C-alpha cells in the first residue's frame, strides 16, 4: 500500500506494530486474572462426545444447559450459526453469566467476545442504539491477511550511533542504528532510521531475539526468542521460536485480528493509529472524532471490498447481553434489525425474570396495551422471543452447592470445617448459590479477626454472619411483616 510508504519516514511506528493493524486487544477479550466471581470457570467442561462431565473446568452440574451450549459452540466453530439468538433463562445465581463466559473461553481469544449488561444502554450522553451498535461491532472480527515486504531474522547486532543534538547544546540524539539479522540462509546488516530504533526499544528487543521489520512502515514486531538461546528450565515465560528460514529480506504473510469497532475508533480518531490509517487510509478525510453511521457505512464498504478480494475474512464473534429484560422497546427493535444483517455476530441473551412488562411500553395505550404496558415472558417482545433458542438453567441441589463452595474455598485459599460447609450448602439451597458464595470471604475475615486457631471457618462464624447480613428472601420477609403491621394499625 502506497500510503504506508509515504508515511514511513515522517511518522514513528506504533508500539507493537508489526501487522497491518496495531491495536491493543479489545477490552472485551481481555481475561481477568485476579480472583473474581467467575474466575474458577475455565470452559464448559464437555467430553469429546459433547456430554457434560460431572465436574470439569470449574463447572459442576447444570448438565443440560452446558450440553446445549456445547452444541451451539460446535455450530459456531463450523461457521454455521443460524442467526438465531440464544436465550439463557433461569432463577438468579444458577450460572447463566458463568455459562456465557465459559462459551467465550471455549472460543479462544481470537474470536471476539463482547459482554454487556442491558442497563448499560441508558446513558445521558450516548443514544441507546448507539451503545448497542458499538457492542455489535465489537463482537465482529476481521482477520486481515496481507503479504508484506519484511526483514526478518535473529538479532545478532544492535548498535545505535549517537550524534550531537543540533537543537540543544547538551545531550545526544541517535543518528541511526545498525541491526544485524541472521536467518538459516544468511545474514544481513541494516542501517536504520532512529524512529525504527524507538520501535525496537518499545518491543524490548535484545540480541538473540527473532524480529521482523516491515520494509514500508518500519514497524517492528518481536516474534520471540531464538531457540538457540533456549535454556533448560522447566517453566519459563519466554517463547522460543526457531531461526527463520529463507532470506532476511523477503515477502511474508502477516495476519492481524481486529474488530469492526477498532476500525471505527481508529478512523474516528485518526491521530490514534498510524497503522490503521494505512489500511483505511482512503477513508480518513480530515480529523474525525466521532463514530457516525456514515463512517460505519464507509468502513463496511471497504471491509466488503477486502473480503471480496480475499484479503480479509469476517470472524463473527459473540455478543452477550446479560439482564436483557433491562432493554426497552427501542433497543429490541434495533436488535431485531441488527440480527437480520449479514454482518451479525452470534447473540447470547440472559434473563432471570419471569413474565414482566417490556420496558418502554408502559404508557403506550396503543395496540391494545394498557398503561401498565405490554407484559411478556422475560420482558422480551414475542417476535424476538420466537426467534430465540431458549436454554433453561435450573436450581442447584444441596450436594452441588456444597461442591461449588468447596471449589471456591480452594481458589480463595479459605479453610473451612465440614460442618460449616454443610450449613452453608443447606442455606444455599434455601436462599441462593450466589448469596452463600458471597458469605465465604466475610466469614473467613470474621474467623481471622477472632484470632481463632483451628480448622478454619466454623458453624459459629456462619451463624454470626447470618445475623449481620440478610439474604433477599429474609429482607423481603421483614419488609412484608412491617407492611402487615402498618396495615393493622
Please report, as ranges, the residues that interact with Mg ion according to CB under 5 A. 97
Number of residue whose CB is nearest Mg ion: 97
Shortest Cβ distance from residue 416 to ligand ATP (Å)? Answer: 17
Q: Which of residues 251-310 bind ligand ATP (CB under 6 A)?
A: none
Least Cβ distance, residue 96 to ligand ATP (angstroms): 3
Nearest to ligand ATP by Cβ — which residue? 95
In this chain, which of 94, 104, 217, 447 binds ligand ATP, going by CB under 6 A? 94
Q: What separation in angstroms does the CA of 232 have from each of 208, 209, 229, 236, 244?
A: 16, 17, 10, 9, 22
Nearer to Mg ion, 62 or 217 (CB): 62
Which is nearest to 291 in space by CA: 159, 148, 459, 129? 129
The stretch near ligand ATP (CB under 6 A) out of 22-30, 34-42, 173-181, 414-422 is 34-42
User: CA 173 to CA 170: how far, in whole Å?
Assistant: 10
Taking the alpha carbons at both ends of the chain, their separation in whole angstroms is 82
Window 131 to 190, contacts with ligand ATP (CB under 6 A): none
Q: Cα–Cα distance between 385 and 155 in angstroms, integer?
A: 58
Please state, in angstroms and rounded to a whole number, the distance separating the CA atoms of residues 272 and 17. 13
Give Dmax over CA atoms of the chain in angstroms.
Answer: 96
Grid cell digits, residue 439 = 458469605
- Residue 41 interacts with which of ligand ATP, Mg ion, none, CB < 5 to 8 Å by class: ligand ATP
Select from Mg ion, ligand ATP, none the partner in contact with residue 276, using the beta carbon and a kind-dependent cut-off of 5 to 8 Å. Answer: none
Taking the least distance from each CB to Mg ion, the nearer of 90 and 133 is 90
We find the least distance from the C-beta atom of residue 323 to Mg ion, in angstroms, to be 7
- What x/- string results for residues 303 through 342 when contact with ligand ATP is judged by CB under 6 A? ----------------------------------------
Strands 318-322, 113-117: pairing is: parallel
CB atoms within 10 A of CB 330: 15
Contact status, residue 378 vs residue 324, Cβ threshold 8 Å = yes
Provide the 3-class DSSP secondary structure of residue 16. coil
Instruction: Pick from 46, 98, 102, 315 the residue near ligand ATP by CB under 6 A.
Output: 98
From candidates 89, 312, 404, 457, binder to ligand ATP by CB under 6 A: 404
Interface pick for ligand ATP out of 11, 12, 25, 37 (rule CB under 6 A): 37
- Return d(Cα 462, Cα 168) in angstroms, integer: 69
Q: Does 92 bind ligand ATP (CB under 6 A)?
A: yes
The pairing of strands 86-89 and 113-117 is unpaired
Contact set with ligand ATP (CB under 6 A): 37-38, 41, 58-62, 90, 92-98, 352, 404, 433-434, 437
Amino acid at each position: 500500500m502506497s500510503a504506508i510508504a509515504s508515511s514511513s519516514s515522517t511518522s514513528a511506528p506504533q508500539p507493537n506494530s508489526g501487522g497491518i493493524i496495531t491495536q491493543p486487544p479489545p477490552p472485551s477479550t481481555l481475561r481477568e486474572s485476579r480472583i473474581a466471581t467467575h474466575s474458577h470457570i475455565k470452559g464448559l467442561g464437555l467430553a469429546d462426545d459433547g456430554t457434560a462431565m460431572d465436574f470439569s473446568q470449574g463447572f459442576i452440574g447444570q448438565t443440560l444447559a452446558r450440553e446445549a451450549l456445547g452444541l451451539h459452540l460446535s455450530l459456531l466453530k463450523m461457521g454455521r450459526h443460524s442467526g438465531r439468538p440464544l436465550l439463557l433463562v433461569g432463577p438468579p445465581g444458577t450460572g447463566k453469566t458463568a455459562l456465557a463466559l465459559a462459551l467465550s473461553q471455549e472460543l479462544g481469544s481470537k474470536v471476539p467476545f463482547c459482554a454487556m449488561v442491558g442497563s448499560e444502554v441508558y446513558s445521558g450522553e450516548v443514544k441507546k442504539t448507539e451503545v448497542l451498535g458499538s457492542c455489535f461491532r465489537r463482537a465482529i472480527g476481521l482477520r486481515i491477511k496481507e503479504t508484506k515486504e519484511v526483514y526478518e531474522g535473529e538479532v545478532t547486532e544492535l548498535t545505535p550511533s549517537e550524534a550531537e543534538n543540533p537543537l540543544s547544546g547538551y545531550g545526544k540524539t541517535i543518528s541511526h542504528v545498525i541491526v544485524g539479522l541472521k536467518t538459516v540462509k544468511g545474514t544481513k546488516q541494516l542501517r536504520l532510521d532512529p524512529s525504527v530504533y524507538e520501535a525496537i526499544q518499545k518491543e524490548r528487543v535484545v540480541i538473540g531475539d527473532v524480529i521482523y521489520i516491515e520494509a514500508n512502515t518500519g514497524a517492528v514486531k518481536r516474534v520471540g526468542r531464538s531457540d538457540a538461546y533456549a535454556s533448560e528450565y522447566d517453566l519459563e515465560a519466554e517463547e522460543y521460536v526457531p531461526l527463520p528460514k529463507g532470506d532476511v529480506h523477503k515477502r511474508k504473510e502477516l495476519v492481524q485480528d481486529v474488530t469492526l469497532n477498532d476500525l471505527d475508533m481508529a478512523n474516528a480518531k485518526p491521530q490514534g493509529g498510524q497503522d490503521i490509517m494505512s489500511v483505511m487510509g482512503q477513508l480518513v478525510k480530515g480529523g474525525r472524532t466521532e463514530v457516525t453511521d456514515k463512517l460505519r457505512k464507509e468502513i463496511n464498504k471497504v471491509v466488503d471490498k477486502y473480503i471480496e478480494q480475499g484479503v480479509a475474512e469476517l470472524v463473527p464473534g459473540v455478543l452477550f447481553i446479560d439482564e436483557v429484560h433491562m432493554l426497552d422497546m427501542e433497543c429490541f427493535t434495533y436488535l431485531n434489525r441488527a440480527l437480520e444483517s449479514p454482518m451479525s455476530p452470534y447473540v447470547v441473551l440472559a434473563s432471570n425474570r419471569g413474565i414482566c412488562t417490556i420496558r418502554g411500553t408502559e404508557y403506550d395505550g396503543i395496540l391494545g396495551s394498557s398503561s401498565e404496558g405490554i407484559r411478556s415472558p422475560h420482558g422480551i417482545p414475542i417476535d424476538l422471543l420466537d426467534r430465540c433458542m431458549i436454554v433453561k438453567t435450573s436450581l442447584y441441589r444441596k450436594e452441588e452447592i456444597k461442591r461449588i463452595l468447596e471449589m471456591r474455598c480452594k481458589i480463595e485459599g479459605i479453610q473451612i470445617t465440614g460442618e460449616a460447609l454443610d450449613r452453608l450448602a443447606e442455606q444455599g439451597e434455601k436462599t441462593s448459590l450466589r448469596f452463600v458464595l458471597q458469605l465465604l470471604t466475610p466469614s473467613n475475615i470474621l474467623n481471622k479477626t477472632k484470632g481463632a486457631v483451628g480448622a478454619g471457618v466454623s458453624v459459629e462464624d456462619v451463624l454470626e454472619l447470618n445475623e449481620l447480613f440478610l439474604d433477599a428472601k429474609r429482607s423481603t420477609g421483614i419488609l412484608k411483616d412491617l407492611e402487615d403491621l402498618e396495615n393493622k394499625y
